[in-house]
Structure 1
Amino acid sequence: MTVEIKICGLSEERTLEAAIAAGAEIVGLVSFPKSPRHVAPEQAATLSSLARGRARVALLTVDAGDSLLGETVAAVTPDILQLHGAETPERVKELRRRYDREIWKAVSIDEADDLRRAAPFWETADRVLFDARPPREATLPGGNGVPFDWRLLAALDPHRAFVLSGGLTPGNVAEAIRTTRARAVDVSSGVESAPGVKDAALIAAFVREARAAAA
């Protein structure tokens, strides 16, 4: 079994290089001003160009309007558009057609019934990303460092194109992969020394542990 690894919320050239050097296949850039991981379009474009041909680039947005989204996609030219808000299946289908690139749709999960909300996206998105439901006091839809009960995904068809996220760290990613049989994992706060500050050593450890679990 192989696992694809995404390091999300990168905002500096130094840690972007660390993620690529560690072997991450996907690097994530956040376009959401409320997030401590937000990068302006100009900086995102610079980071994207550094990654081009070495790792795929995912652009994370949250309920972005057409104008802003169009400007950001044009600047960053991502390989993947990750939708982390309340986007509907119709919106996902529309953006997939408009931008002609891979679309991931995040679905918050806390209990078994939440899996039903993912059903409409299996046909409209390229991948469904399962993230932990944000705590009641949270101001961000993701990147809160909170895991969910991975056993909720244990019965999911392993051939489904899903990504596991939410509270992953170097210390728990191996267990998460073994429990869910996820073929793709996404980490952000779990490889940080402070909110929005990525740690190269933690990135390397995360990739190492994920690879070992998959092997």
Structure 2
Amino acid sequence: MSLLVKICGLNTAEAVDAALDAGADLIGLVFFPKSPRHVDLQAARMLAARARERAEVVALTVDADDATLGDIVEAVHPDWLQLHGRETPDRVAAIGAVHGIPVMKAVGIATAEDVAVVHSYMVAADRLLLDAKPPPGGELPGGNGLPFDWRLVAGLDLEKPFMLSGGLRPENVAEAIRLVGTSASFAGVDVSSGVESAPGQKDPERIRAFVAAVRAADAARGETRKGRVA
């Protein structure tokens, strides 16, 4: 199965169009006021409608309360809820049950101990997002442009699929796919700051370059697998 490509932190119609035209599979809308990529409900409703039927819409929140989540679901009707805070497995399961929407849980990775935490979300989450752990004192849980050591999750076999995030760019995503692509659970890649010209400002050329790099690396991965089978 082909790797999924998610372009996150889209906050303008032009950025959404660039992601769709490039062939992204998912677009991410950020609901976190501290982020330069934050969108309000009115803007998010418009952007989600623009993407509908062409890509899945992901609503990203950070430790949001029930009322906030309810407002987002009602306004945007996302295909996924991405939880990017300190939500516990029980909280993740409860959110999925209440809203009836698949949940993607982000887990920050810096060490092998962090990878072990991923397993605690297997029952609660529908998909995992393995992101770089933010720097100490950082206000943003993601979108910091920092990679983690991808070798930590190379060959990782989980009960649920996972996407790779954190510091990915057109220039390095092929290497990330090469390292992590041996995992049967590896489902796709997620990018935000790596396709920006400035914080919160998506660059259409970098979006196109990123998607093209992923497709090329995924094709090479497929050929390698065929060779091994033969």
Question: In which range does the TM-score fall when normalised by the shorter chain?
Answer: over 0.9
Distance (Å, rounded) in 1 between the aligned partners of 2:215 and 2:137: 34
Question: Equivalent residue for 1:184?
Answer: 188
Distance 1:177 1:158, change over 3 A: farther
Distance 1:64 1:188 in 2: 20
Stretches of 4+ aligned residues off by more than 6 angstroms: none
Whether contact under 8 Å (2:119, 2:158) holds in the other structure is: no
Q: Is the 8 A contact 2:147 2:167 kept in 1?
A: yes
The structure number with the bigger radius of gyration is: 2
Note closer, same or farther for the CA distance 1:75–1:200 as it changes in structure 2 (3 Å cut): same
Q: CA deviation at 1:160?
A: 4.1
Aligned partner letter, 2:179: T
1:30 counterpart = 2:27: no
Provide Cα deviations, 1:128-182, integer angstroms capped at 9, x if missing partner.
1100011114210000000000000013117740010000000000000110113
Query: Which structure 2 segments of 5+ residues have no match?
Result: 220-230
Scaled by the length of structure 1, the TM-score of the pair is 0.98
Kindly tell me the number of residue pairs found equivalent between the two proteins. 215
Check conservation: 2:6, 2:26, Cα contact below 8 A. yes
Structure 2 Cα separation of the partners of residues 160 and 179 of structure 1: 19
Measured after TM superposition, the shift of residue 183 of structure 1 is 2.4
8 Å CA contact retained: 2:165, 2:189: yes
What residue number does 1:89 align with?
89
SS in 2 for 1:58: strand
1:207 and 2:211 equivalent? yes
Write out per-residue CA displacement over residues 71-97 of structure 1, whole angstroms, 9 at most, x where no aligned residue: 111101100000000001011111111
Task: Write the deviation string for residues 37-83 of structure 1: whole angstroms up to 9, x where unpaired.
Answer: 00001100100011111110000000001111111111011000000
Deviation at 1:102, TM superposition (A): 1.1
Identify the residue that residue 42 of structure 2 maps to in structure 1: 42
